[in-house]
């Protein structure tokens, strides 16, 4: 099964795995799963770090791509097609532009998103599967 990790799942998997739910931990540890991390998440980490909105323990934003790969996550590029069709997403539920693009990627690829974010859960009515 393929899953898309929300940005906080990536951060916690690398810096503080105890924050992950038992269900998500089981998914991450399963050899039968592919965990995708969007390029959007790396951008979000870098942006929030630069603005002082994200404190990281002994790791810098530029370390996340290699740490993500070492963790077994796979990078998901942001395609021009996804950018061009983004306007089709119902944006009424969430204001965060990073999360909205992750939601759109999950919807386009028809894969569940791993997230604790309750605002993302509102998109279940739009066909998004959210697992925490």
Q: Is the pTM of this model over 0.75?
A: yes
Average pLDDT, the chain: 95
Name the one residue in this structure whose structure tokens are 């993302």: 120
End-to-end CA distance of the chain: 15
CA 1 to chain centre: 16
Domain extent listing, the chain: 2-131
Report the pLDDT averaged over residues 6-34: 97
- Examine the pLDDT at 90 and tell me if it is beyond 90: no
The pLDDT of residue 113:
98
The pLDDT of residue 109:
96
Helix pair angle (64-71, 7-15), 10° resolution = 80
CATH domain 2-131 topology: Rossmann fold (3.40.50)
Whole-Å CA distances, 89 to 30, 92, 101, 112: 31, 9, 9, 16
Q: Is the dihedral of CA 57, 55, 65, 115 positive or negative?
A: positive
User: For the segment 109-123, what is each residue's pLDDT rounded down to a tens digit?
Assistant: 999 999 999 999 999
């Amino acid at each position: 099964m393929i899953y898309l990790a929300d940005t906080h799942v990536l951060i916690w998997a690398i810096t503080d795995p105890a924050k992950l739910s038992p269900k998500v931990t089981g998914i991450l540890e399963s050899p039968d799963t592919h965990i995708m991390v969007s390029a959007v998440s790396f951008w979000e980490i870098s942006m929030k770090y630069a603005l002082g909105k994200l404190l990281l323990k002994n790791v810098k934003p530029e370390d996340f791509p290699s740490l993500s790969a070492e963790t077994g996550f796979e990078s998901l590029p942001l395609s021009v097609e996804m950018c061009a069709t983004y306007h089709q997403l119902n944006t009424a539920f969430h204001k965060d532009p990073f999360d909205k693009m992750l939601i759109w990627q999950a919807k386009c690829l028809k894969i569940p998103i791993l997230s604790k974010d309750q605002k993302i859960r509102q998109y279940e009515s739009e066909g998004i599967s959210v697992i925490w």
